[in-house]
Amino acid sequence: MEIKKSKTPTNTVTRDLRQFDLETANVYQSVVILSKRANQIGLETKEELNNKLSEFVTSTDNLEEVFENREQIEIARHYEQLPKPSLVSISEFLNGKVYYRIPDND
């Protein structure tokens, strides 16, 4: 997944809104594009996490197994440290890595 490879900062940064309407000429269209891309990234990350955690599912759960599963804890910590999907989508949009199309209004 690209999120692991990207150099997106995990903290929030104040952005200049004029940078968002350079490509679309409309800030609101840019925000819609960003939100849809953030949803895509969030769903991909969630699916990947669920696939990794499904390996640890057992038919019987003991309290000792739940608290002592270190691999599961490490996977959760890794995903907690990833940048938020909205930050990744903003970074991709500003770097021109997001493909979008706007249908004609004829």
Q: Is residue 16 part of a domain?
A: yes
User: Which residue, among 34, 26, 42, has the nearest Cα to 105 in the 3D structure?
Assistant: 26
The answer to whether residue 32 scores a pLDDT higher than 90 is yes
Q: Is residue 105 part of a domain?
A: no
Q: Which residue has the tokens 């197994």?
A: 65
- Note the pLDDT of residue 88: 92
DSSP letter string, 62-94: -HHHHHH-HHHHHHHHHHHHSPPHHHHHHHHHH
Report the alpha-carbon distance of residue 16 to residue 26 in Å, rounded: 14
Give the range of the structural domain holding residue 48, as residue numbers without chain letter: 2-94
The answer to whether residue 61 scores a pLDDT higher than 70 is no
Q: Is residue 102 part of a domain?
A: no
Q: Is residue 106 part of a domain?
A: no
| CA-to-CA dists, residue 57 to 19, 51, 61, 91, angstroms | 45, 11, 9, 35
Report the C-alpha dihedral over residues 27, 32, 37, 41, rounded to 10 degrees. Answer: 110
The mean predicted confidence, pLDDT, of the chain is 83
pTM score: 0.78
